Amino acid sequence: MLEIKNIVKQYANHRALDDVSLSIPESKIFGLLGPNGAGKTSLIRIINQITAPDSGEILFDHQPLSGQHIAQIGYLPEERGLYKKMKVGEQMIYLAQLKGLCKSDARKRLNYWFEKLDIGSWWDKRIEDLSKGMQQKVQFIATVLHEPRLIILDEPFSGFDPVNAQVIQDEILELNKKGATIIYSTHRMETVEELCDNIALINKSKKVLDGSVRDIKKKYNNQTYLINYLPSTLSVDELSNEGLFDIHAHIPNQDDDQLRIRLHADSTLNDTIRHFLDKIQITQIKEIVPSIHDIFIQTVSKTPSI
């Protein structure tokens, strides 16, 4: 639903975004990853039309992004903030009205959310009287109250305890199930695999990686396997087969030994197993699939400095 094409954003002394192109599919959860200062927030601000790109364009439903799309976007910024002295209910209605909702609709939906998250008693409280976690919850509701089709969440789980983080995560998944497209920006990888369908990795103002989580993992799968076997009299050298694989490590354990091998590009797992069959008693073979976390670290540390 969102097509980001060749976005460049130049600030006085550095380039925040350098020719970034992304495609965010409808009704998916899109992970926008990258270390601090990579340009994620700059990109998000451009999508929110808070700032404009120096060049490039963004298409929302195949139309150039414009003011009419504001009502269809919900944004939870990383730096949270609400009017401290204003009452919760009043403030939420105000924020929803700014997004183009009428007062009575805002009130209706707010009642629904307050009931759902069991915070109805907060209506007349001032924001400053709420705890930090409570404020976060309120702000999350403010983000989604106008039922945006595109929800942009910048580090949505920071500041939540595990219980409430789970509550919010469930809400995000439910919204997604109902059809909302979600851009989830983070530099914490734990939740990415669980939540995201697609990801893009931005580092040093450039997009370095993007695609579906499955494809990326497949691409970074380097045919590494762990083979457990019963202790054998054969030495590691006697087990090796340079035509098929390299041995990365040999780890002797109490009950069994372990080999970490990486297959050559043209060899198959079957050939490898055949090679081992008459030599050792295999107890377990496991493929080591790189986590998004590993890929992230690997990619970021590989990117050359500008």
Partner 1 sequence: MNKILLILQREYMTRVRKRSFLLTTFLVPLFFIGMYVGIIFLTKKSFEETHTTVYIVDQHGEIGPLLKSAKNITYISSNKDLQEQLSSLNNEDKNTSILVIPKDFTNHPNVEFLASNKPNVSTQNDIKSNLSDILRDFKYQSLGINTDSLKNINTTVSINAKEITSDGTTKDSNTEIAMGIALALSILVYISLFLYGSQVMRGIIEEKSNRIIEVIISSVKPFQLMMGKIIGIGLVGLTQFVLWILLSFVLAGIASTFFVSKSELSEQVMGAQLQDNGSEAIAKSGNAMNSISPEAWAMLQSVNFTEIIVCFFIFFLGGYLIYSALFAAVGSAVDSETEASQFTMPITMPLLLTYALSFGVLMNDPHGAVATWLSFIPFTSPIAMLVRVPFGVPLWQIIVSALLLIIGFLLTTWVAARIYRVGILMYGKKASYKEIVKWFRYKS
Nearer to partner 1, 126 or 187 (CB): 126
Around 188, how many Cα atoms within 13 Å sit in the side-chain half-sphere? Answer: 9
DSSP code string of 97-121: HHTT--HHHHHHHHHHHHHHTT-GG
Nearer to partner 1, 22 or 152 (CB): 152
> CA angle 223-224-226, nearest 5°?
140
Residues that bind partner 1 (CB under 8 A): 12, 45, 48-52, 54, 70, 73, 75, 77, 79-86, 94-95, 97-99, 139, 142
Report the alpha-carbon distance of residue 69 to residue 63 in Å, rounded.
10
Q: What is each CA distance from 136 to 93, 160, 192, in whole angstroms?
A: 16, 8, 20
- Minimal distance, residue 261 CB to partner 1, in Å: 50
- Minimal distance, residue 26 CB to partner 1, in Å: 21
Nearer to partner 1, 55 or 221 (CB): 55
Nearer to partner 1, 58 or 239 (CB): 58
Nearer to partner 1, 46 or 239 (CB): 46
Report the alpha-carbon distance of residue 88 to residue 127 in Å, rounded.
6
Q: Hey, what are 21's tokens? A: 């192109």
Report the alpha-carbon distance of residue 256 to residue 237 in Å, rounded.
18
**Letter for the amino acid at 212?**
S
- Minimal distance, residue 282 CB to partner 1, in Å: 56
Report the alpha-carbon distance of residue 148 to residue 229 in Å, rounded.
54
Nearest Cα to Cα of residue 265 among 295, 221, 215, 299: 221
